[in-house]
Structure 1
Amino acid sequence: MTTFIYMYLFILGLVLGSFFNVVGLRVPNKQSIIKPPSHCPHCQHRLGVWDLIPVFSYLFTKGNCRHCGEKVSPIYMFGELLTGFLFVWVYSITGFTGELIIGLLLVCLSVIITISDLKYMIIPNKVLLFFLPFLFIARILFPSQSIWYYVLGFFVGGGILLLLAIISRGGMGMGDVKLFALYGFIIGFDRILLALFVASVIGMIVGFTLIILKKVQRKQPIPFGPYLALGTLIMYGYGDEIIQWYRYFLLHL
């Protein structure tokens, strides 16, 4: 039964991930997610059924459009696989509980903003506003701690990044601020603080690596949303264990 659930969630994630690609790539450009139908970004040819099978279509065509032969961005397959694996990961942590709903919503939001931020360095307000009521209602219905723990996480997460945005004078976008406030309400006060630390460390390592490899310039801005998402997901899944280890470490210094 468990294997069947994993397979179902993975396939569901692949299908939804394909849709999330559309949302993440079109919404920042103020385009409809319905019209026009999916098409090749180079030759504009409308994609058929065989072109829309998640992952397999990309692998079968070796990442090229079947009609014009131009390269198709790997971000499409990335979004599909990422969603599929994260859906399975969330279920492995939460099981069939109310927390599963929160985890799946968190993944959906994170995948969309990651695609959008990587492509355009934009975290669309429309995406945040869409997920806001669902995540708030889900967290209120299925709290694992006092609701004030999550309210405090909301204000601390958003407040810290707002302060950084003011200090950096535009180095931190308001989309990041709003996103992290919402993340704070999902995972709570102490977890959101560590999520920011984890995101910053990973972002710094990746940034330095890209500079060394000369993929980006020293002062070139890089999207921070994906790192905030990664830090939050890590703390969502393993926050209790990390906090316990951290407290043990402090007590035995």
Structure 2
Amino acid sequence: MSILISIYILTLGLVLGSFYNVVGLRVAGGQSIISPPSHCPSCGRRLTIRDLVPVFSYLFLRGRCRTCHQKISPIYPIVEASTGLLFLFSFLWTASIEEMLCGWLLASLLMIVLVTDLTEMMIPDKILLFFFILFAFFRIIFPLAPWWDAPAGAASGFIVLLLIALVSRGGMGGGDVKLFAVMGLLVGVKIVLLGFFLSTFIGAVIGVAGLLTGMIRRRQPVPFVPFIVLGMLAAYFFGDRLMAIYYHLLF
């Protein structure tokens, strides 16, 4: 029975990941997420069911449109597979329905803004506002303990990143500041601050490696959301363990 549930949740995540691609691309481009129907961005052909099977259609078509043979962005299968695996991992790893749903909500927001940041280098306010309202309702139904941890998480995520943005004079974008405020409302103070620390640490390591290998040029704009995805998910799922290891090494 648990295997069937796991398959169902994985499938749900794959399907939602496909939808998150549409949301991210269309909202960033100022388009409706309802119409027109899914189509090839190169030749405009309306996609059929066999073109829309998450991950598998991309693999079967070898990453190209069935009609015009133009390359399909690998962002599509990456987001689909990532969403499916994150939904499944949250189901298997967390200890309660509340934690599982929280993991699903966090993964959903991160996957959508990952698409917008990789394609347009932006985090749309419409997406952040929608999830802010959604997270607020979620925390009314499932409040953190203590209850003020959620608004304090939003405030700390906003204030800390705003100060860094002001000090760095543009080193931190306004979208990143608002994103951490929204995530702070969902996960609370401890996790959002740990997530920010891990995000910057991962970004710094990869950035230095990219400069040394020549893959990244100096002053080249680099999307920060991929590092936020890694940092926030690590903080949410492994935060207590990471902090326990840190305290053990420190003391």
* TM-score, scaled to structure 2: 0.95
Counterpart amino acid of 1:178? K
Match of 1:66 in 2: 66
SS at match of 1:157: helix
Cα deviation, 1:122-148, whole Å, max 9, x if unaligned, reads: 011111111112212212322342022
Counterpart amino acid of 1:52? L
Asked if 1:37 corresponds to 2:3, the answer is: no
- Residues 144 and 188 in structure 2, CA contact (< 8 A), matched pair in contact too: no
Counterpart amino acid of 2:11? I
Match of 2:247 in 1: 247
The alpha carbon displacement at 1:96 in A equals 5.0
Match of 1:128 in 2: 128
The alpha carbon displacement at 1:189 in A equals 1.5
Match of 1:93 in 2: 93
Match of 2:27 in 1: 27
CA distance in 2, matches of 1:190, 1:200: 16
Q: What is the total number of aligned residue pairs between the two structures?
A: 251
- Residues 64 and 70 in structure 1, CA contact (< 8 A), matched pair in contact too: yes
Match of 1:140 in 2: 140
RMSD: 1.5
Match of 2:159 in 1: 159
> What does residue range 74-89 of structure 1 map to in structure 2 within 5 Å?
74-89=74-89
The alpha carbon displacement at 1:104 in A equals 0.8
Percent identical across equivalent pairs? 47
Runs of 5+ consecutive residues of structure 2 not aligned to the other structure:
none
CA distance in 2, matches of 1:25, 1:216: 25
SS at match of 2:33: coil
- Residues 9 and 84 in structure 1, CA contact (< 8 A), matched pair in contact too: yes
Structure 1 residue ranges, 4+ long, deviating more than 6 angstroms after superposition: none
Match of 1:201 in 2: 201
Residue range with higher mean Cα deviation, 147-156 or 80-89: 147-156
Asked if 1:212 corresponds to 2:212, the answer is: yes
Cα deviation, 1:155-178, whole Å, max 9, x if unaligned, reads: 111111111111222221111001
CA distance in 2, matches of 1:159, 1:200: 16
- Residues 102 and 139 in structure 1, CA contact (< 8 A), matched pair in contact too: no
Match of 2:115 in 1: 115
